[in-house]
């Protein structure tokens, strides 16, 4: 089993790799031997420093690029190809969430969410698929969605819609590009980082609602998300395509306002 989780010889590209969850994913994949290209919008020198801190058995390379810009994405792939080789796995992970009542949700924030969460994922996945096709090689796309792709959560409706779109994108890529290119989805729950953690710690109403929504009863450790990435990057997942891996503590099992005890 340990050998099946050895990613030595594999190259993984992840967008949003310096975010709260992304860092844990990069560290986990590196610990298991993968060479990881970390993409984010952090300034190049600072990004290199942060990525180096996540490097263990495998090598890490940091490339600053705006994943919503097709030209920048092409340059990103040229860089990783030249320094690490064409990635075996490309993780469309960069994302944005914001909270506001739906009737007052700012249109500019809606556009920003859709641009980063959906458009950038399509641009990056398309760029990867095109290169794999041109070279006749196999590859896998991993899209980071969320449990709210199927279960709405108050005040993040545009985010919910973006994650539903990612699920559809992934399954479309999987259907069109089989058998040589696979595409799968990781859908985490309420992860103990970022906005969710701040609200959990500072807003009693949010915490009560979130606790009721998680059957396992506690916020999701980011390591559990990283372990899902490790599984999908490993040979253990070789027969999966078009799959949605829910790693959410059961949050998607029933509506959060259910009266079930």
Q: What is the pLDDT of residues 140-193, one digit of tens each?
A: 999 999 999 999 888 999 999 999 999 999 999 999 999 999 999 999 999 999
In a domain, 254, yes or no: no
Residue 216 lies in a domain: no
For 62-87, give one letter per residue: b (16+ CB within 10 A) or e: bbbbbbbeeebbeebbebbbeebebb
Q: Which residues are part of the catalytic machinery?
A: 159
Q: What is the CATH number of the domain that holds 39?
A: 3.40.50.720
Question: Is 78 within a domain?
Answer: yes
Residue 123: its H or E element = helix 120-135
**Would residue 47 count as lying in a domain?**
yes
Task: Give the pTM.
Answer: 0.95
Q: From CA 38, how far away is CA 63, in angstroms rounded?
A: 6
Digit-coded pLDDT (tens) for 204-246: 888 888 888 899 989 999 999 999 999 999 999 999 999 999 9
Is 31 domain-assigned?
yes
pLDDT above 80: residue 249: yes
Residue 202 included in any domain: no
Domain that residue 184 falls in: 3-190+222-247
Is residue 258 assigned to a domain? no
In a domain, 200, yes or no: no
Number of domains in the chain: 1
Mean pLDDT of all residues in the chain? Answer: 94
């Amino acid at each position: 089993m340990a050998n099946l989780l050895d990613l030595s010889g594999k190259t993984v590209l992840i967008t949003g790799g310096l975010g709260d969850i992304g860092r844990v994913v990069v560290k986990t994949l590196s610990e298991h031997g993968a060479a990881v290209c970390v993409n984010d919008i952090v300034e190049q020198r600072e990004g290199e420093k942060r990525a180096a801190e996540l490097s263990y058995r495998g090598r890490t390379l940091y490339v600053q690029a705006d994943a919503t810009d097709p030209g920048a994405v092409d340059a990103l792939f040229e860089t990783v190809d030249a320094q690490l080789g064409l990635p075996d796995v490309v993780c469309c992970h960069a994302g944005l969430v914001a909270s506001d009542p739906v009737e007052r949700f700012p249109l500019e924030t809606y556009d920003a969410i859709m641009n980063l969460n959906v458009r950038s994922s399509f641009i990056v996945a398309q760029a990867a698929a095109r290169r794999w096709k041109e070279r006749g090689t196999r590859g896998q796309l991993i899209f980071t969605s969320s449990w709210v792709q199927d279960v709405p959560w108050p005040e993040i409706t545009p985010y919910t819609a973006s994650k539903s779109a990612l699920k559809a994108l992934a399954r479309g890529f999987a259907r069109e590009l089989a058998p040589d290119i696979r595409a799968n989805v990781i859908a985490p729950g309420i992860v103990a980082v970022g906005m969710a953690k701040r609200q959990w710690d500072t807003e009693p109403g949010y915490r009560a609602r979130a606790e009721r929504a998680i059957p396992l009863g506690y916020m999701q450790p980011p390591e559990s998300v990283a372990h899902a990435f490790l599984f999908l990057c490993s040979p253990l997942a070789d027969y999966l395509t078009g799959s949605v891996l829910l790693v959410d503590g059961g949050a998607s099992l029933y509506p959060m306002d259910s009266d079930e005890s």
